[in-house]
Structure 1
């Protein structure tokens, strides 16, 4: 959900916040405080993509995306050590 940055305090970013030069200012999954919103406004950011849910639900969605990404990276590998690494990464996400 795209919202005016001034109304985003307490929301969690659903996508990374990117400046005009393509640099990442904030990652997806970042909770926006008043101080951060003020800094984004100073950077010329007018709107941000945020989750339309609670912080816990938002983090669950991000974790699901991360796990899907890891699974896609490892689907071409068919080696026990790679399977072990994949499971280790997924477990790390689940336990964070």
Structure 2
């Protein structure tokens, strides 16, 4: 959707900026995959035991960890965006 909308703008560097942003977002979403995979195993074990209290605890712990990581990444996003752009090496027009 982003490429479709931005593709109608007059400059190619605008589409490049969207591609760089999408790449950073995809990397962060992939990097947080451990949270989903780890919670699934523990939840499956608790569900197999029929332990509703453990399921609620796993859900709460997962949500708190996700919220904490979201706050941390949000706070560090602006200062670390320069480092991420340095490693991605976009063209000078995107700086």
TM-score (normalizing by structure 1): 0.33
| Structure with the largest fraction of helix | 2
| Structure with the largest fraction of strand | 1
Instruction: Work out which of the two has the higher radius of gyration on C-alpha atoms and give 1 or 2.
Output: 2
- Does 1 or 2 have the higher relative contact order (CA < 8 Å, sep 6+)? 2
